[in-house]
Amino acid sequence: MSDDNNLVISRIEKGRVCVHCCTAPDNGERVNAYIVETENRLVIVDTMLMRPHAKAFRLYADTLGKPIDRVFITHAHPDHWFGMEFFQDLNNVSLPETVEEIKMMARLEIDFHRSQHGELVNDKIFLPNPDASEKSIEIDGVIFRLHRIVAAEDLFMLAIDLPEEKILIAQDLIYNKVHLFVGQRSQDGTMCFAGWIAALQKFMNEQYELVLPGHGIPADASILSENIKNLEIMRGIVESSDGGNFVQNVLDAFPGYGLRSMVEMSAFFLFQMK
């Protein structure tokens, strides 16, 4: 289904849960936010970038008629936390390192996106609670395992799996037919590729039946090896390109992939922010 703000919503029933996949259009970076609906409660994963999409996402969650147990913020990139503006009455939680990263980068990110989108994005810093440190929690009888990922698509990331349902909520560890953002560097200045590939390999033997990406449509476990292959290709492109030909080299390597803006964003951080 689609609402007036072009938020596309699909439902996937799996075991004891129903996953609601909510996807923003291209001007919202085609980012996904998820609602995991259990018998009696809702669990939110991320909150989108643009105000209209975040507001529509919250309104949709409220129509489900169940209390929201908590909101997980998986990492500090703004397309995943800006929408907290519409979830401030709830318990928003993340890794402690994500809270610190938001504190450090938020004003720069807000100023950039306000320059691009004006009042369509928020102008305040919203901080989640640094409570997502447990390795396994139970919500309404469903096990949620929390995984701390370091030096991948972002400096620190939270991945969540539901082992009994064989679901991995990978968020930005996985992109599906959408161009990868590879502009993030680790705290020691190294590129993202080694840490990102290692994180994906960690999940390869789990036999997931449903993998939920941060950008692109839900997939099965084969998307893990596909992303590893794509990251290896991207690493080669970065090593052999410069600021003048990087974007075209990526577009040539991945014809038909969506969201050119991700390639341009990668180029900026790779070649202009050195």
Q: What pLDDT, on the 0 to 100 scale, is given for residue 1?
A: 38
Confidence of residue 189 (pLDDT cuts 50, 70, 90): confident
Instruction: Let me know if domain 8-272 sits in CATH 1.10.3720.10.
Output: no
Show the 3-state SS of 119-153: HHCCCCCCCCECCCCCCEEEECCEEEEEEEEECCC
pLDDT at position 193 over 90: yes
pLDDT at position 74 over 60: yes
Type and span of the H or E element at 9: strand 8-14
Bridge partners for 161 per DSSP: 145, 168
Q: Which of 159, 141, 160 is nearest to 150 (CA)?
A: 159
- For residue 99, the one-letter residue type is V
108: number of Cβ within 10 Å: 10
Confidence of residue 21 (pLDDT cuts 50, 70, 90): very high
Confidence of residue 9 (pLDDT cuts 50, 70, 90): very high
Confidence of residue 3 (pLDDT cuts 50, 70, 90): very low
Q: What pLDDT, on the 0 to 100 scale, is given for residue 203?
A: 97
pLDDT at position 272 over 90: no
What pLDDT, in 10s, does the model give residues 125-146? 999 999 888 789 999 999 999 9
Type and span of the H or E element at 232: helix 222-240
5: number of Cβ within 10 Å: 17
Share of the chain above pLDDT 90, in %: 92
Q: How far is CA 31 from CA 93, 119, 214, in A?
A: 19, 19, 6
Which position has the higher pLDDT, 6 or 33?
Answer: 33
Q: Where are the domains of the chain?
A: 8-272
Q: What pLDDT, on the 0 to 100 scale, is given for residue 4?
A: 43
Q: What is the pTM of this model?
A: 0.95
Bridge partners for 7 per DSSP: none
What pLDDT, in 10s, does the model give residues 146-157? 999 999 999 999
Interatomic CA distance for residues 184 and 191, integer angstroms: 7
pLDDT at position 274 over 80: no
- Across 242-266, average pLDDT: 96
Q: What pLDDT, on the 0 to 100 scale, is given for residue 140?
A: 98
Interatomic CA distance for residues 258 and 167, integer angstroms: 24
pLDDT at position 6 over 90: no
What pLDDT, in 10s, does the model give residues 168-177? 999 999 999 9
Token digits of residue 65: 């008629």
Question: What residue ranges in 123-257 does DSSP mark as E strands?
Answer: 136-139, 142-150, 156-162, 167-175, 210-215
Average pLDDT, the chain: 95
Q: Which of 65, 69, 64 is nearest to 87 (CA)?
A: 69
Q: What pLDDT, on the 0 to 100 scale, is given for residue 246?
A: 98
Q: Which residues of 69-98 are buried (b: 16+ CB within 10 A; e: fewer)?
A: bbbbbbbbbbbbbbbbbbbeebebbbbebb
Contact between 38 and 140 (Cβ < 8 Å): yes
Q: Which of 16, 13, 90 is nearest to 46 (CA)?
A: 90
Share of the chain above pLDDT 70, in %: 97
265: number of Cβ within 10 Å: 16
pLDDT at position 81 over 60: yes
- Across 212-239, average pLDDT: 98
